[in-house]
Amino acid sequence: MRIKLVLFGIIAALFAGAGFAADETSEVKVTVFTGAEMIDGTGAKPRKGLAIVVKGEKIVAVERERGFTPPEGAEIVDMSGQYVLPGLINVHEHMNTPPKASYTEAMMRRELYGGVTAVRDPADDLRLLSEIARAARLNEIPSPDIYYAVMMAGPSFYEDPRTQASSSGGYAGQVPWMQAVTDETDIPLAIAMARGTSASGIKIYANLPAHLVKALTEEAHKQGTQSWSHSMIFPTTPEEAVDAGVDVLSHACDIAYQAFDKRPTTYPDRGNYPIPTEDFVDGDNPAVAALYEKMSSKGTILDPTLYVYRPRERPAGARPQNGEEYTPRCTYELTQALTLQAYRAGVDIATGTDGFTPWQEPYLSVHTEMELLQDTGMKPLDIIKSATLIGAKVLGEEEEMGTIEAGKLANMVFVSQNPTKDVTNLKSVTLVVKRGEQYPRSDYIPLTEEDARPRPMDSVKILPLPKDSEN
């Protein structure tokens, strides 16, 4: 052992002599942002006359401008007439199915220059995504920080072609980033494998009974990682997911299943159960009210994804149901009603979109989501909190981001119009700061059609499952 330690010491000295040692004399850049009216992300009213002092990638002080002396050598950035708020967080975007690095990087470039400094990807091909996440974390590419999940689902769900595309080269349900779970699964090992992908959490997707949802969640928490899930896991209900201790429920639409005795038991079967809007839009549904009371008391966050239910043209390729004209499983009015009921019940609401705006649009789906929340009845300051502090809680990173205060990452977005009057004003970005790096909106290069062309699903080589596979 002594010989090994001596050898390590010699190697370390050689690397230091070759210039690999940290330069202790190098100075960390200090920047002071002045003049902007600050919206801190806590839901508090804006404050004027403050200087935000950034050293490296962290905020080190928020001081009153009057009488404040900037540190010697600091860069002073005058943002007078602007509004500053924490970087926005989109907690629901799938950016890598099928995997295509150029597409993901292009979409993330637009996200960053639009004010988003962190995103959550709840399930994708993590082999490529982890490389992009690393480059984003080091500011090697213009991108929000990327947090991602390992998918957990019942074996039957992995017939879904999206899971097969995301597991290309392997077998869906049998790779570390997309795992099939049964009663025979070694749950501690499954979570350890998930953590080995550098995932921030697991995404409990579909076709799992409540006792396995609970086992996965308890083990995830034991190993220090988040447990995220769909609202309805099929057959596991929203209430059973909350009782299992999951941190976040995605898709307000599926909350409605809590109010019915008869529900779909598998994910593919959900299309045969359109949800009657009238049962929810005329007043608070009592079954949902009981669920929301439990969510509020336990701190379970709702990711409603209004964006995917917004009014739009009939989806391409949508088929008539039972010989009738196509009707969506969930209407926008239903999702609005369930989201508003959650808001009034004190449930924490995050901003997730589950999709991107068309490539021609300069701004982002998270802006649209915030506008839809405003149309639903949420107040602008609460919506900003949803897109900042609550988003950070979804990621399990509220100690690092989500508010503007000393000790947090210097993740900020400056806008020229007041978003506390109307969140539509967030589409006036002038400067984004991520981990202390500045990204002026004027430097943004708009997407091209080629940038925004994802890899087609039919180009992915899918391996046939082994004959002895349980999937």
- For 276-311, write each residue's pLDDT tens digit: 888 899 888 999 999 999 999 999 999 999 999 998
Contacts of 31 (CB under 8 A, 6+ apart): 53, 54, 74, 75, 76, 77, 436, 438
pLDDT of amino acid 467 = 56
C-alpha 132/C-alpha 3 separation (Å) is 40
Q: Structural domain of residue 271, as residue ranges?
A: 88-312+323-403
C-alpha 303/C-alpha 221 separation (Å) is 20
Query: Is residue 40 assigned to a domain?
Result: no
C-alpha 451/C-alpha 446 separation (Å) is 9
Q: What is 145-185 written as a DSSP string?
A: EEEEEEEEE-GGGGGSHHHHHHTTTS-TBEETTEEE--TTS
**Where residue 6 falls among pLDDT bands split at 50, 70, 90?**
very low
CATH number, domain with residue 256? 3.20.20.140
Contacts of 144 (CB under 8 A, 6+ apart): 87, 90, 108, 111, 112, 116, 117, 118, 119, 136, 434
The per-residue pLDDT of the chain, averaged, comes to 90
Please answer whether residues 248 and 228 qualify as being in contact, where contact means their C-beta atoms are separated by less than 8 angstroms. Answer: yes
Read off the pLDDT of each residue in 32-54 and give the average, rounded to a whole number: 97
Q: Measured in whole angstroms, how far is the alpha carbon of residue 438 from the centre of its chain?
A: 22
pLDDT of amino acid 374 = 98
- For 57-82, write each residue's pLDDT tens digit: 999 999 999 999 999 999 999 999 99
**Where residue 460 falls among pLDDT bands split at 50, 70, 90?**
low
Query: Is residue 397 assigned to a domain?
Result: yes
Please answer whether residues 274 and 329 qualify as being in contact, where contact means their C-beta atoms are separated by less than 8 angstroms. Answer: yes
- For 237-267, write each residue's pLDDT tens digit: 999 999 999 999 999 999 999 999 889 999 9
pLDDT of amino acid 453 = 87
Environment class of 145 (CB within 10 Å of its CB; exposed 0-12, middle 13-18, buried 19+): buried
Radius of gyration of the chain (CA): 23
- For 336-385, write each residue's pLDDT tens digit: 999 999 999 999 999 999 999 999 999 999 999 999 999 999 999 999 99
Position 401 pLDDT exceeds 90: yes
Work out whether strand 30-34 and strand 75-78 pair parallel, antiparallel, or are unpaired.
Answer: parallel
For the chain, what is the domain count? 1
- For 211-230, write each residue's pLDDT tens digit: 999 999 999 999 999 999 99
C-alpha 258/C-alpha 402 separation (Å) is 31
Could you give the angle at which helices 332-344 and 365-376 cross, rounded to 10 degrees?
70
Query: Is residue 60 assigned to a domain?
Result: no
pLDDT of amino acid 44 = 97
pLDDT of amino acid 464 = 64
Position 231 pLDDT exceeds 70: yes
Position 465 pLDDT exceeds 80: no
Query: Is residue 328 assigned to a domain?
Result: yes
- Half-sphere exposure (CA, 13 Å, Cβ side) for 54? 23
- For 441-456, write each residue's pLDDT tens digit: 999 999 999 988 887 7
Sign of torsion over alpha carbons 227, 231, 232, 237: positive
Query: Is residue 92 assigned to a domain?
Result: yes
Tally of CB atoms within 10 A around 239: 18
Tally of CB atoms within 10 A around 139: 16
Q: Distances from the Cα of 435 to the Cαs of 55, 440, 460, in angstroms?
A: 10, 14, 36
Which residue would you say has higher pLDDT here, 317 or 175?
A: 175
C-alpha 365/C-alpha 387 separation (Å) is 12
Query: Is residue 237 assigned to a domain?
Result: yes
Please answer whether residues 401 and 117 qualify as being in contact, where contact means their C-beta atoms are separated by less than 8 angstroms. Answer: yes
pLDDT of amino acid 279 = 87
Position 394 pLDDT exceeds 50: yes
Query: Is residue 41 assigned to a domain?
Result: no
C-alpha 150/C-alpha 197 separation (Å) is 8
Query: Is residue 398 assigned to a domain?
Result: yes
Position 459 pLDDT exceeds 90: no
**Where residue 97 falls among pLDDT bands split at 50, 70, 90?**
confident
Which residue would you say has higher pLDDT here, 380 or 326?
A: 380
Measured distance between the N- and C-terminal CA atoms of the chain, rounded to whole angstroms: 48
C-alpha 178/C-alpha 469 separation (Å) is 15
Q: Distances from the Cα of 23 to the Cαs of 19, 20, 60, 168, in angstroms?
A: 8, 9, 22, 43
Tell me which residue has tokens 């909106």.
Answer: 441
